[in-house]
Amino acid sequence: MKFLKVFSIFFLLGTSASANADWTPFGEAETSYIFIDKTTLARSGNIAKVWIMYDYKEKLDGIASMKDLNEFDCKNVESRAIARIAYSEQMGKGSIIFSVLDKIKTPPPFAAIAPGSIASGFFKIACKK
């Protein structure tokens, strides 16, 4: 089972980092433009996963963009980031500044999604609600 989880994360990572990534504009926050790659959407039972990218308007500590693999509990309206990769250039390009793929031994707990938040928009797409 552990192998399957690790394989799934690396499969989704490979999909998100490839030329096949299809970053669709999702919105704008104070410090970043936000994109979602719907081609990475995967669902198993009540759990959905999708890659999200934050393209920073100005570099933050050398980071120009960041990709998160978010997991959604479609039944309980909760989410968590289970992987994160920071890049030196815009749109997930350049050098990898850091990656927490290999550091997450136990995924963080799910957190409730606030109505009207950016996460609620991701939830609607991932869970088709």
Residue pair 67/89 in contact by the 8 Å Cβ criterion? no
pLDDT for 115 beyond 80: yes
Domain ranges of the chain: 2-127
pLDDT at 63: 98
pLDDT for 12 beyond 60: no
pLDDT for 15 beyond 80: no
pTM for this entry: 0.81
The secondary structure of the chain, three-state, reads CHHHHHHHHHHHHHHHHCCCCCEEEEEECCCEEEEEEEEEEEEECCEEEEEEEEEEEEEECCEEEEEEEEEEECCCCEEEEEEEEEEEEHHHEEEEEEECCCCCCCCCCCEECCCCCHHHHHHHHHHCC
Domain spanning 2-127 has what CATH number?
A: 2.40.128.710
Closest C-alpha to 72, from 62, 82, 84, 64: 82
